[in-house]
Amino acid sequence: MINLKTYYDLTELKSLLAECMWPDDVRITRELDSYLTDDSRGLYGEVIHHRLVGLIGIVSYSEEAVELKHIAINPQYRRLGLGTKLIYEYMHSYNPAKIIAETDQDTIGFYSKIGFEIHSLGEKYPGVERFQCILSKDHELILQGIRS
């Protein structure tokens, strides 16, 4: 896992960030700028064969809790465990008490599979149920298994 705040290719960063955001170039650029300039935000990624293949965007609220704001894996590298690896490497390196994410029905299986607790937030947008996902330090045995 590398820190992407100084990554050399902003086009590559924007392209990967677009994988997990509404495809609006202005919003994507604004979000990337926030990651690059705001000290409460972290952007971390995985590079394979000199190519950025995955990233996670974190917003720190306190030493106790961080929000997993964005997670994106290049379509060619999905289902290889890279998202899980990035989350657990972040947790191991920065040691937050918990990571909180919000998602929709399409990805709760991913979060549940790697140990997040899932809680419905109800219909936040018309016709769209949202879920809060929480991963706490209590999953240390899972973390040890992923790291070995």
Looking only at the bridges linking them, the beta strands covering 65-73 and 117-125 are: unpaired
Domains of the chain: 2-147 (3.40.630.30)
Q: What is the mean pLDDT of the chain?
A: 87
**What pLDDT digit, counting tens, does each position of 19-68 carry?**
888 878 899 999 999 999 999 999 999 999 999 999 999 999 887 889 99
The span from the CA of 113 to the CA of 85, in Å, is 13
Are the C-beta atoms of 37 and 51 separated by less than 8 Å? Answer: no
Sign of the alpha-carbon torsion through 122, 20, 30, 25:
negative
The span from the CA of 85 to the CA of 121, in Å, is 26
Is residue 99 over pLDDT 50?
A: yes
Per-residue confidence (pLDDT) for residue 67, from 0 to 100: 94
**Amino acid at residue number 66:** V
Identify which has the larger pLDDT, 139 or 123. 123
